[in-house]
Amino acid sequence: MDQVKATTAFVANSSSHVVVDSAGIEKAVENIQGKIPKIEWDFEGIHYFDNGPLTVQYLFVLDTLNFCFWPDKKLSYDDLASGLKEALENDKSVFDADHLQKFTGLQLRNLLKWPRPLPLEDERIRLLHEVGFELERSFGGKASNLVQSCGRSAAKLVATIASHFPDTLQGYLNNDSTMDVLGFRDHSVYKGHQIFLYKRAQIFAADLYGAFKGQGYGEFNDISSITIFADYIVPAMLWKLGVLKYSSALASIIESNKEIASGSEEEVELRACSIYAVEKMRDLISVKLGKQVWWN
């Protein structure tokens, strides 16, 4: 994940709207040191797991659809994860690559037992079609083949996903006025430089590691290279901790719940500075503990 770390550091050092506060990092680390809980991946029992290729397929479909829940106040990630789990338990072929290419919005709603159109339903269906097509074309229809092709490297897995799978840079307003970026090839141009973030591709690698407990399909020799996944929640939490500080103009936009355009300086800075800040927090905790840590 050197690209992610290097390019987000460039943003943090060039930022006009977001500041990573060193004193805030020190204080936050002092407050959380020794208090970071170790949470089991499926502690709520909402995910499918059979310790085999079907779990990998399930996770890839789940992470393909894991975006933009906020417009429907009753819809959550838990609904998606548990709904897909039940669908796979009822039909082991439901997420076969050829089936993914034929999904309709109504079929997805029925799988999830959701009574109304999903937020960005057309985009979700488009992504399923493209994922199914590329899995069939390049990986024999199986996400497990995609994972095995990467030789136990999380960084190579993220890079492979980014090179093969959908690229959509449309942004949509969420409830903290920042933007969700769709697709796995998550990057932006900032002040003439390409910035790599790869939120959901990294989530897939981390989900595999968590689900398989670092064994089998979840065994990666470089899992500590994964960064945090910069969504709209992370900047808000870092701001509350005093780790991030906003310009008065950006603070006004956020307070008034105005849209922050995808790919704008503000949006890129919020996400990139979050990654940079947490890497700095991790480095500091590692120094204090005398060993490397990563966010699992």
Per-residue pLDDT reduced to its tens digit, 67-125: 888 778 899 999 999 999 999 999 999 999 999 999 999 999 999 999 999 998 999 99
Full residue range of the structural domain in which residue 221 is found: 2-166+182-289
C-alpha to C-alpha distance for 212 and 219, rounded to whole angstroms:
8
pTM flag (> 0.85): yes
Q: Is 78 a catalytic residue?
A: no
Q: Which two tokens stand for residue 92?
A: 């082991």
| Span 202-220, pLDDT tens digits | 999 999 999 999 999 999 9
Q: Which two tokens stand for residue 272?
A: 């990139």
* Position 181 pLDDT exceeds 60: no
* Position 295 pLDDT exceeds 80: no
Q: Say which of 42, 186, 231, 283 is annotated catalytic.
A: 231
- Total domains in the chain come to 1
Give the pLDDT of residue 294: 60
Of residues 290 and 171, more confidently modeled: 290
C-alpha to C-alpha distance for 184 and 269, rounded to whole angstroms:
19
Residue 258: name the closest of 172, 177, 171, 176 by CA: 177
Q: How many CA atoms lie within 13 A of 238 on its CB side?
A: 31
**Does residue 79 lie in a domain region?**
yes
C-alpha to C-alpha distance for 206 and 56, rounded to whole angstroms:
12
- 3-class SS at 99? helix
**Does residue 43 lie in a domain region?**
yes
pLDDT confidence bin for 290, thresholds 50/70/90: confident
263: left (phi over 0), alpha (psi -120 to 50) or beta: left
Number of H helices, E strands in the chain: 13, 6
**Does residue 249 lie in a domain region?**
yes
**Does residue 28 lie in a domain region?**
yes
* Position 238 pLDDT exceeds 50: yes
In sequence order, what E strands does 1-122 have?
18-20
CB 202 within 8 A of CB 151: no
**Does residue 177 lie in a domain region?**
no
